[in-house]
Structure 1
């Protein structure tokens, strides 16, 4: 089941080949002002999640390159926002989408090999990046202001204007997907970008930056920094050219970014963790609910901020749903990322694997039933799809984001208890309700404290719909029309129209 389709050496060779095809440069590093640049900092190793071996090394970009990237983005504002019309920007965005579509197989394979995600998933994610640029290409010339009917002799109108240079950080679990979903609305609004993917998975984001240049995005309008958060990321957010901070990742690091933004008096957008609940009522289609629960937690090996890591089931059907879910979990195909048949791939690294297995053992020791899952035999950083039953909602495993293929299940009596348990968490990113009664489904969904709620489904995401969290899952939205509001500011302009205007005093 976990037989190697390619060994680590072959994977490394393939990564090099794809990199050179897209970026045309033999060296790994950051994309700054149109060129791939090597940093001068500590060496960073990209590991092969499928075998645990080493794929390649590159140096941390560091503060110097971070500052150069911010300066390049600042210079590029002239070419991207001031010299181009909105319609021209839209045409470039459309060309960017075409470049991504033409390179979907390469991006998907690069992501699978370096991030460890099944290629069947990375193809979908690369396609969604293309969709994001297509969607925002159409928005470029539709950012209208308003005329305000003020009670004076003035013509008062507003404009939506970009912040300027936007600094973004994206996580290791879906680098090309989150990278594209942050860059596209920022560019469409007229901003220029400095983005730092996780130091563990930078390759696909740098490759995306290279594709955007081929599409005609001006040199320096998109810069990609490969490096550590504490060095490169901190210097990026501290750059005086940066006027908006965007972070996708853990709440702990999100707090650091928010404090940095507050110190600089610039706004920030935070998309943070989740501990999302799947709520299954006795009147639901139990087969579909079990299938949705499996897809919601085991896709991407559970390494997703919206993973349905809590399963709340009405008592009368609790054991039935658990039995169905265990059957689904055991039927999933585990394997190496590049195998198109693989449904559950490895975790990103040894530390993450150890963390997930530790959570499982703690739950077992506390008296929970581990119905299936754990560590399989063989190489790589794998954890089998795991189901843990009879967990208390106040247990650590029910409150903390695990980021692995582990679902914890607990029963509830009625709607009131289901809502209480669902909302009894510091997170509020997503949730779902399964019910055959439409009035119940909408009633409960309306009480869930989360930015996205699904009814009789899970994990459907579209570029035109806003996405973001409540509570410690962050604030701001990263898609849909609402993202454009995040990436722009409103400017009010007053024009006196009276022949004999009166001078106003006071405030």
Structure 2
């Protein structure tokens, strides 16, 4: 496929200036310029202006106004509009996937799948829109007591650079289903597909202001949005350090948060597993998306009795995986998204080697002209690793797997749980009892048995410990965007008065 940046943007933004999506139209940024870089070439292809506090303030006012209109619609009508957004996403599958690949660096084979998942998200929550109702509580008094699920109002959402279109849909759809307006600030490195979703939502008939997309920097635009008086809840997807800072800001304003943070997930392989399937699963767990996934299986725990045989196959497979131009449908691994992350990954590999780890595969830039200028890294397998090393403790967020041996089930669970994170994990075994026992004992919000990285909008997702709190997706994710109101109505003809005086 041709790397035509303008062709990727034209269907959504036309020839006009790209800014923030505010009140159903593009609003130019008022702050400093920042650049968007193609990770596959290292070349700047677009400059935008930081939205800044003035644009944020206008966005928040329009979001509050739009939310009142949105909540005033019949629930079934809200559902129909959400469904139409999903249909718009499906109709623009190829152009959205192309735009995501250009700006993120993910292979086109992956971005097509992720765009379809975004359509599924809006379609799934469209079905929930007219099924959100309260309960009648049989209180021991003469009152009729019932509950009403109500929206918070305006939700501010911060999403990362590794999967911008996916995480935008992941957060926007349930927020809107519950009757909120959403102000989403994507990473300044990858704002384009989130902005495109704003454009498509208007085509689907969404009232202006219900979806706002802010293009800007975290320390200016992001902070102005999360601390704005109109914000009633903050949802953040990103690093633990930034998440902690945002949660502190929100707490100062008595505003609740949902935090989806990092991971250092343990992928456990027992000697009785189907080793061929486990090797393929281990590769997908860490190398898909160039390892830039919070649930990546970056700690690969293999039972000592089969580790040599397993490693031989794993290393051979890692050396064969096609790395290259993300526009090529044959490419399975594209570049790292940005130069800072690329340097971080290289630094962590070097640090691991100083601590005694050995590079068994990868660790270097692939050969060839295609990978000469972008942020490419061959799939990397590190052996001779123990769980106290920095590469086994810190989130690398790249195509780097640390292989750690274990002797028995108790040791495997202990190693898996010896982490500040608790986002995901997996076990590969043919013993049913062991599979469910390990799943119960590993502290993680999502756990797979004889598979890895299957995620669906119907199922709740979130972490334990430093991986965050609250849930995205599923019914549980929807509940994060609503708050219950309890209503009491006196039904007695002459209710007793507990206090006070009234004349006869």
TM-score range, shorter chain: over 0.9
Q: In 2, Cα distance between the equivalents of 1:372 and 1:257?
A: 38
1:373 aligns with 2:362: yes
Q: Which residue of 2 aligns with 1:214?
A: 203
User: For residues 258-282 of structure 1, what are the alpha-carbon distances to aligned partners after superposition, in whole Å with 9 as ceiling and x for unaligned?
Assistant: 0011001011100000000100011
Q: Which residue of 1 aligns with 2:294?
A: 305
Q: Which residue of 2 aligns with 1:453?
A: 447
Equivalent pair of 1:51/1:379 in contact (CA under 8 Å) = yes
Of 65, 78, 81, which residue of structure 2 is paired with 1:75?
A: 65
Of 430, 455, 465, which residue of structure 1 is paired with 2:424?
A: 430
Q: Which residue of 2 aligns with 1:160?
A: 149
Aligned ranges 1:198-209 → 2 under 5 Å: 198-209=187-198
1:503 Cα deviation from its structure 2 partner:
2.7
1:505 Cα deviation from its structure 2 partner:
5.4
Q: Which residue of 1 aligns with 2:472?
A: 478
User: For residues 35-59 of structure 1, what are the alpha-carbon distances to aligned partners after superposition, in whole Å with 9 as ceiling and x for unaligned?
Assistant: 1111121111101101111111111
Structure 1 residues 370 and 182, CA gap change in structure 2 (3 angstroms):
same
Of 278, 292, 310, which residue of structure 2 is paired with 1:321?
A: 310
User: For residues 308-360 of structure 1, what are the alpha-carbon distances to aligned partners after superposition, in whole Å with 9 as ceiling and x for unaligned?
Assistant: 00000111011111111111111111111111111000001221111111111
Q: In 2, Cα distance between the equivalents of 1:361 and 1:60?
A: 35
* Structure 2 unaligned spans of 5+: none
User: For residues 340-394 of structure 1, what are the alpha-carbon distances to aligned partners after superposition, in whole Å with 9 as ceiling and x for unaligned?
Assistant: 1110000012211111111111112222121010222322101100000121101
Q: In 1, Cα distance between the equivalents of 2:80 and 2:480?
A: 22
1:49 aligns with 2:39: yes
Q: Which residue of 1 aligns with 2:394?
A: 400
1:25 Cα deviation from its structure 2 partner:
4.8
TM-score when scaled to structure 2? 0.97
Q: In 1, Cα distance between the equivalents of 2:131 and 2:148?
A: 11
Q: Which residue of 2 aligns with 1:106?
A: 95
Give the SS at the match of 2:379.
Answer: strand
TM-score when scaled to structure 1? 0.96
Q: Which residue of 2 aligns with 1:264?
A: 253
1:273 aligns with 2:267: no
Structure 1 residues 246 and 504, CA gap change in structure 2 (3 angstroms):
farther
Aligned ranges 1:10-159 → 2 under 5 Å: 11=3, 14-82=4-72, 84-159=73-148
Q: In 2, Cα distance between the equivalents of 1:373 and 1:26?
A: 43
Equivalent pair of 2:355/2:389 in contact (CA under 8 Å) = no
User: For residues 53-101 of structure 1, what are the alpha-carbon distances to aligned partners after superposition, in whole Å with 9 as ceiling and x for unaligned?
Assistant: 111111111111111111110000122111x100000000010000000
Q: In 1, Cα distance between the equivalents of 2:14 and 2:155?
A: 26
1:440 aligns with 2:424: no
Aligned-pair Cα RMSD in Å = 1.1
Equivalent pair of 1:426/1:472 in contact (CA under 8 Å) = yes
1:181 aligns with 2:170: yes
1:406 Cα deviation from its structure 2 partner:
0.1
1:18 Cα deviation from its structure 2 partner:
2.9
1:20 Cα deviation from its structure 2 partner:
2.4
Q: In 1, Cα distance between the equivalents of 2:392 and 2:150?
A: 43
Give the SS at the match of 2:124.
Answer: helix
Give the SS at the match of 2:128.
Answer: coil
Q: In 2, Cα distance between the equivalents of 1:211 and 1:163?
A: 24
Q: In 2, Cα distance between the equivalents of 1:352 and 1:336?
A: 19
1:170 aligns with 2:159: yes
Q: In 1, Cα distance between the equivalents of 2:419 and 2:185?
A: 30
Structure 1 residues 504 and 319, CA gap change in structure 2 (3 angstroms):
farther
Q: Which residue of 2 aligns with 1:464?
A: 458
Q: Which residue of 2 aligns with 1:229?
A: 218
* Structure 1 unaligned spans of 5+: none
Equivalent pair of 1:20/1:26 in contact (CA under 8 Å) = no
Q: In 2, Cα distance between the equivalents of 1:375 and 1:505?
A: 79
1:498 aligns with 2:492: yes
Structure 1 residues 25 and 260, CA gap change in structure 2 (3 angstroms):
farther
Equivalences, count = 495
Q: Which contiguous aligned blocks of 4+ residues in structure 1 show a shift greater than 3 angstroms?
A: none
